[in-house]
Amino acid sequence: MVSGIIEAVAALKDQERLGAMVTVIDGPDVGSSIVLDRTDDLVAGEAGDWFDDDVLSDAIQLMDREESKALVYGDRRIFVDTIAPSPIMLIFGAGHIAQPLSLFARELGFRVVVADARAAWATEERFPNVDELIVAWPQDVFDHVIPDRRTYVVMLSHDSRFEIPVFAAVHGVPLRYLGAMGSRRTHAMRVERLKQEGWSDAETSAIHGPIGLDLKSKSPAETAIAILAEIIQVRYGAGSAISLCGTDVAIHSL
């Protein structure tokens, strides 16, 4: 049983699949464990009476938030240990903001892909630490990178040659995050165009534009931090994005 659990956890990590090990850590059935795959459900261990719909529902929510947590169900305490591969941050536009953004995102555990059709901008000298640098137009990028619900797409250029094919490619894809650079006026025009192309109100409302939190950023590095602050909030599905000073909100999630 233990070896099967260990092998299942190792397989999730090796295959970069989202999952969790769920273990009873106190009360009846203490020590019982199962391994879940977010897509394929139970993959190892025996689901006893302790693993009911409530535990499964909470485990799914925690996996989707990439969060590990101990929860109490009656006289049992159960720990959900989420196993999450590195999420992909796909940055379109290799300008000055993309440089610190890609660097900081790597530090936060993202697999960073920078794409730009301008070979003079998308160079290894300017982006020495990214996981992948693609010199191509967006429609060709999506032939190589398939976005999914763990993909964060960041549009740093609102040039129509870049923007229109990106939005066309991700329409209907359950991205984790879609952010786009531009002023409020630019974003309003973008939304109007997308609605004419068949995007619903809910779909356009999910676009983070103008991108980032209001930090009154001035430099490219400060703007990158504002974007990443918003992405962190979306990634974990929590946080008010207000100053902790003078408030009684929890500093860390429980």
Map out the domains of the chain as residue ranges: 2-83, 88-236
Which three-class secondary structure state does DSSP give residue 117?
coil
Residue 39 has pLDDT above 70, yes or no: yes
Q: Which fold has domain 88-236?
A: Rossmann fold (3.40.50)
Q: Cα(first)–Cα(last) distance of the chain, in Å?
A: 30
> Tell me, what's the pLDDT at 205?
95
Q: How confident is the model at residue 44 (pLDDT cuts 50, 70, 90)?
A: confident
Is the distance from CB of 234 to CB of 176 less than 8 angstroms? yes
Q: For residue 139, how far is the Cα from the chain centroid?
A: 22
Higher pLDDT among residues 224 and 39, named by residue: 224
**Pick from 155, 175, 176: which is nearest to 166 by CA?**
155
> Tell me, what's the pLDDT at 3?
59
Residue 25 has pLDDT above 70, yes or no: yes
According to DSSP, the residues that pair with 177 across neighbouring strands are 152
Average pLDDT over residues 143-157: 90
* Dist CA 64 CA 39 (whole Å): 11
Q: For residue 128, how far is the Cα from the chain centroid?
A: 23
The angle subtended at Cα 85 by Cα 157 and Cα 163, nearest 5°, is 15
DSSP string covering 138-198, please? HHHHHHH----TTEEEEE----HHHHHHHHHHHTT---SEEEE-S-HHHHHHHHHHHHHTT
Q: How confident is the model at residue 148 (pLDDT cuts 50, 70, 90)?
A: confident
If DSSP states are collapsed to H, E and C, what string results for 21-76? EEEEEECCCCCCEEEEECCCEEEECCCCCCCCHHHHHHHHHHHHCCCCEEEEECCE
19-26: strand order across its sheet: 41-44, 33-37, 19-26, 76-83, 69-73
For 93-136, write each residue's pLDDT tens digit: 999 999 999 999 999 999 999 999 999 999 999 999 999 999 99
Residue 20 has pLDDT above 90, yes or no: yes
Residue corresponding to tokens 């936060």: 108
Average pLDDT over residues 138-166: 89
pTM value is: 0.80
Residue 253 has pLDDT above 70, yes or no: no
- Buried b vs exposed e over 20-33: b needs ≥16 C-beta within 10 Å? bbbbbeeeeeeebb
For 196-250, write each residue's pLDDT tens digit: 999 999 999 999 999 999 888 889 999 999 999 999 999 877 666 776 676 665 6
Residue 24 has pLDDT above 60, yes or no: yes
For 159-208, write each residue's pLDDT tens digit: 888 899 999 999 999 899 999 999 999 999 999 999 999 999 999 999 99
